[in-house]
Amino acid sequence: MPVLPDQITLEIVTPERLLFSGAVDEVSVPGVEGYLGILPGHAPLLSELKIGEVMYRQEDTRTYLFCSWGFLEVLPDRVSVLAEIAERAEDIDVTRAQAARERAEKRLKSKDPETDFQRARTALERALARLQVASKASPRGLAAGEG
> pLDDT digit string (tens) for 74-91?
998 999 999 999 999 999
User: Hey, what CATH topology would domain 92-134 get?
Assistant: 1.20.5
Give Cβ neighbours of residue 32 (< 8 Å, ≥ 6 apart). Answer: 47, 48, 49, 50
Strands 45-49 and 34-38 come out as unpaired
Is the whole-model pTM more than 0.85?
Answer: no
Identity of the residue numbered 50: K
Question: Could you read off the pLDDT of 22-64 as tens digits, one per residue?
Answer: 999 999 999 999 999 999 989 999 999 999 999 999 999 999 9
CATH of 8-90, one of 2.60.15.10, 1.10.357.10, 3.60.150.10, 3.10.290.10: 2.60.15.10
